[in-house]
Amino acid sequence: MLALVSIRVSSAFDGGNGEAVQTDSPDDVRVRIVKDVGDRFMQWFYFRVTGHAGAPLTVRIVNAHEGSYRAGYEGYRAVASTDRKQWVRVPTEYDGTQLTIRHPGGADAVWLAYFAPFSMERHADLIARCQQHPSVTLESLGHTLDGQDLDLLRFGEGPLQAWVIARQHPGETMAEHWMEGFLARMLDDADPVARRLREAATFHVVPNMNPDGSRRGHLRTNAAGENLNRAWMEPSMEKSPEVYLVRQRMEATGVHFCLDVHGDEELPFNFIAGADGVPSLTERQAGWLTEYRSALARISPDFQTQHGYAPAAPGQANLRLCTNWVAERFGGLAMTLEQPFKDASNHPDPVFGWSPARCRNLASDCIAALWAILPELAPESDA
């Protein structure tokens, strides 16, 4: 007698999101995404399918049309893995209601995700690896609402205070893949640029600004349903301790350079948004932004300056965002780096799309761009 097919969908793991709606047949598996706490946002998915005995799979995300960035599903391909290491793009269609993902099968378990995941276990490995470096200080700034540590890595001894933070939006896992590349290069003692930058600057690095949302499988919010990148004007220990604690430390150190790393659901490009519309914007700040962007575009063919967000009108910047709040408060160069969920379509990769390896390489190039403009930024040159 043939065994009955018993397909299962699970997401009860670090970063998981997706629950089974119907699992009768491998060519009609239906899944729905669960909203973040706060009931406003959803788009991130990450689940495992088993019990299809290696048959090809057709998986439909039935509530894709309720996604926060529906245009993000247009021209998008999901990622799949059977070894949880390599994530390849698979055929995906969005019909305006459902997102249909096809996997060729061949393995008993298949993991599907919105982008290559980055678990809190991997975060712990990253932190542990970095603290082996003799010039790194690891500190927990405090606890999140779920009781996780908010990790800060500090290194370098120069007067320029450089803050680099990532993953305020937990579903933007590319931001922490970027962090892996950033920290690997910055802590490479054979890298002359990294060594010079560590002499010129003190780096304060928060590799994951939203540990709770990351572990819970959220797209955008923390455990209290707060969108952290709208909490910078009035953070609180009750609702947004992650921002409250980082801001408090920024007040103690000052900020000359701040890079806040994100991912964008819709635009198939890497780009940088600046603090264009902050009320106190100076010509120097505007000049630094132009110089940094041009330097990065010269260094990395994966970066470009044609496509991005429209700049805010003068004085109209939303100061609840990290980049704007920091630029207004400290007067330095503050920027938001956006990487695509889709691909960098100025330089596409048909197999992997935008991928963890490319995130890491871009991070290395962001370091080179900082090196390129360092003479302009140095605090000694303050008028």
CB closer to Zn ion out of 103 and 226: 226
Contact present, 42 and 36 (Cβ < 8 Å)? yes
Smallest distance, Å, CB 338 to Zn ion?
7
Stretch that binds Zn ion, among 3-11, 83-91, 126-134, 166-174 (CB under 5 A): 166-174
CB closer to Zn ion out of 277 and 340: 340
CB closer to Zn ion out of 206 and 373: 206
Q: Report DSSP letters for 108-123, one per residue.
A: SEEEEESS----HHHH
Q: CA 177 to CA 309: how far, in whole Å?
A: 23
Largest CA distance in the chain: 84
Stretch that binds Zn ion, among 108-116, 162-170, 306-314, 363-371 (CB under 5 A): 162-170
SS3 state of residue 341: coil
Smallest distance, Å, CB 264 to Zn ion?
7
Choosing from 180, 226, 328, 338, the catalytic residue is 338
Q: CA 334 to CA 352: how far, in whole Å?
A: 30
CB closer to Zn ion out of 167 and 204: 167
Considering only residues 74 to 133 of the shown chain, the ones binding Zn ion according to CB under 5 A are: none
CB closer to Zn ion out of 41 and 155: 41
CA dihedral 241, 182, 36, 223 (to 10 degrees): -20
CA atoms within 13 A on the CB side of 34: 17
Considering only residues 193 to 222 of the shown chain, the ones binding Zn ion according to CB under 5 A are: none
Considering only residues 252 to 281 of the shown chain, the ones binding Zn ion according to CB under 5 A are: 262
Q: Tell me the backbone φ, ψ of residue 109, rounded to 5 degrees.
A: -130, 135
CB closer to Zn ion out of 73 and 155: 73
Q: Is 265 labeled as catalytic in the residue annotation?
A: no
Asked if 169 is part of the footprint of Zn ion (rule: CB under 5 A), the reply reads yes
Smallest distance, Å, CB 21 to Zn ion?
28
Distinct helix (H) and strand (E) counts, the chain: 8, 17
CB < 8 Å & 24+ apart, contacts of 83-87: 84/111, 87/113, 87/115, 87/116, 87/352, 87/355, 87/356
Q: CA 96 to CA 344: how far, in whole Å?
A: 23
Smallest distance, Å, CB 49 to Zn ion?
28
Considering only residues 170 to 189 of the shown chain, the ones binding Zn ion according to CB under 5 A are: 172
Smallest distance, Å, CB 213 to Zn ion?
11
Smallest distance, Å, CB 257 to Zn ion?
19
Q: Please tell me the count of residues contacting Zn ion according to CB under 5 A.
A: 3
Interface residue list for Zn ion (CB under 5 A) = 169, 172, 262
Which residues are identified as catalytic?
A: 338
